[in-house]
Chain A
Amino acid sequence: MKRFALLLAGTVIGVLAGAWYGWSVSPVTYNEISPDQLRAEYQADYVLMVAETYAADHDLGEAAVRLSRLGQADLTGLVRRIADAYQAAGYPEEDCARLFDLARDLERYSTLPSAAP
Chain B
Amino acid sequence: MKKYLEWIWLPIGLLLGLALGVGYAWVLQPADFRGAQPASLQPVYRGEYILLIATAYQATGDLERAQTRLELFPELNPAVLSSLAQQVVAARGSEDAARGLARLSVALTEQTPMPSYAFTVTSASPSASRATRTENPTLALTVPPLPTATLKPVQISTATAPAGFVLVSREQVCNQMIQKPLVQVLVRTPGGKGVAGVTIRILWEGGGSAFVTGMKPELSPGYADYEIEPGKVYQIALGDGLTVVRDVSVPTCPGATAVAGGGTNVAFDGSWRLVFEMR
Segment touching A, from B53-61, B106-114, B167-175, B183-191: B53-61
* A-facing residues in B2-57 (Cβ within 8 Å): 6-7, 9-26, 30-31, 33-38, 40-42, 45, 48-49, 52-53, 55-56
Q: A7-B9, A32-B40, A42-B37 are in contact. Are A18 and B52 (CB under 8 A)?
A: no
Closest residue to B21 on the A side, CB-wise?
A: A18
Q: Are B30 and A16 in contact (CB under 8 A)?
A: no
Q: Are B56 and A52 in contact (CB under 8 A)?
A: yes
Bin chain B's interface residue count: 35 or more
CA–CA, A2 and B56, complex, Å: 68
Option from A7, A20, A24 in Cβ contact (under 8 Å) with B10: A7
CA–CA, A37 and B9, complex, Å: 44
* B-facing residues in A1-52 (Cβ within 8 Å): 2-4, 6-24, 27-35, 37-40, 42-43, 45-46, 48-50, 52
Q: Are A30 and B16 in contact (CB under 8 A)?
A: no
CA–CA, A4 and B18, complex, Å: 17
CA–CA, A81 and B96, complex, Å: 28
Q: Are B25 and A22 in contact (CB under 8 A)?
A: yes
Closest residue to B11 on the A side, CB-wise?
A: A10
| B21 proximity list for chain A (CB < 8 A) | 14-22
Interface residue? B232 (CB, 8 A) = no
Interface residue? B149 (CB, 8 A) = yes
Q: Are A40 and B17 in contact (CB under 8 A)?
A: no
A81 CB to nearest chain B CB (Å): 16
Q: Are B14 and A10 in contact (CB under 8 A)?
A: yes
Closest residue to A2 on the B side, CB-wise?
A: B6
Interface residue? B147 (CB, 8 A) = yes
| B150 proximity list for chain A (CB < 8 A) | 59
Q: Are B147 and A10 in contact (CB under 8 A)?
A: no
Q: A9-B13, A14-B18, A27-B30 are in contact. Are A19 and B59 (CB under 8 A)?
A: no
Segment touching B, from A61-69, A72-80, A105-113: A61-69
Interface residue? A89 (CB, 8 A) = no
| A18 proximity list for chain B (CB < 8 A) | 17-25
| A55 proximity list for chain B (CB < 8 A) | 59
Option from A32, A43, A50, A57 in Cβ contact (under 8 Å) with B42: A32
Closest residue to B33 on the A side, CB-wise?
A: A30
What are 26 A-to-B residue pairs whose CB atoms are below 8 Å?
A: A6-B9, A6-B13, A10-B15, A10-B17, A12-B13, A13-B14, A15-B17, A15-B20, A17-B17, A18-B17, A18-B19, A18-B20, A18-B22, A20-B25, A22-B22, A28-B33, A30-B40, A33-B36, A33-B42, A33-B45, A37-B36, A38-B38, A52-B56, A52-B60, A55-B59, A56-B96
